[in-house]
Amino acid sequence: MNYKILYPEAFPVVAVTLQKGESIKAESDAMISMDNTLDVQGKMEGGIFKGIVRKVLTDESLFLQRIVATRGKGDAIIGHPLPGGILDIELDGSYDLIVKKGGFLAATEDIQVDSKMQGFSKGLFSKEGFFLVKLSGRGTAFISSYGVIHPISLEDGQEIIIDNGHLVAWPSYMNYRLERASKGFVSSFTSGEGIVCRFRGPGTVLIQTRNLESFQGWIRSLVKGG
């Protein structure tokens, strides 16, 4: 499979070229266009139980799309509904990639899409809930965001504090802890930050430059004002 991410700084899409017999799986309704040599099929990743678990716990689609080059070589374009970035990540099988809910877009067939449970405090306060998406295996994965995806690479022992509304993805060998944005409770509340995530290196954390929850709050304020 060959691919190229088009229009990366605005409203990106992934243009893929599949040879006969090749396929790619993607979130439901991700296909924008495809040649008539390709077919799109519904696929329940991991069987009915895992599909239901992923839908109920991570709010991902129950069925994934599977675009297959059944009649010969063909091109397809896939995208996501938000105005934001798309990033390709090569996984070598040595670690899993943990992705926020709604952040998975597509992957080659050898990538498994599953769910991962967080601890109680993280599930309660991290805004991501108790379950996240876990990508594992060897191949190419595409993740999407609201805003542009920005990587933050940390050296061994280096730490970074990230607003939890801006998290997109991180490798499974990295962990984070939740803490107040400021030392005092009142200051944390009045600053508008509240709870933040502290990551420790080594590793690369992917963040998004916009916060969807804040945007939704802004829209609600306009509706009330109107």
**What is the helix (H) or strand (E) element at residue 144, kind and residue range?**
strand 131-144
219 within a domain of the structure (yes/no)? no
pLDDT of residue 218: 61
pLDDT of residue 106: 97
220 within a domain of the structure (yes/no)? no
* CA quadruple 157, 162, 166, 170: dihedral, nearest 10: 20
67 within a domain of the structure (yes/no)? yes
223 within a domain of the structure (yes/no)? no
Are the beta carbons of 53 and 32 closer than 8 angstroms? no
Domain that includes residue 62, residue range: 2-214
pLDDT of residue 183: 61
- For residue 143, give the nearest of 79, 202, 95, 203 by alpha carbon: 79
> How many separate domains does the chain show?
1
| pTM score, whole prediction | 0.83
226 within a domain of the structure (yes/no)? no
Per the prediction, the chain carries an average pLDDT of: 83
**CATH number of the structural domain spanning residue 168:** 3.60.160.10
79 within a domain of the structure (yes/no)? yes
Distances (CA, A) of 139 to 57, 111, 133, 180: 25, 6, 16, 37
Report, in angstroms and rounded to the nearest whole number, the Rg of the chain calculated over CA atoms: 19
**DSSP β-bridge partners for residue 178:** 197
pLDDT of residue 220: 74
210 within a domain of the structure (yes/no)? yes
Q: What is the chain's pLDDT, residue by residue, as a tens digit (226 residues)?
A: 999 999 987 799 999 999 999 999 999 889 999 999 999 998 766 555 455 555 555 555 557 899 999 999 999 999 998 889 999 999 999 999 999 888 999 999 999 998 876 543 444 444 554 468 899 999 999 999 999 999 999 999 999 999 888 999 999 999 888 887 756 444 444 444 568 889 999 999 999 998 877 767 767 777 876 5
Sequence-distant (6+) residues with CB within 8 A of 106 are: 14, 24, 25, 26, 27, 30, 78, 141, 142
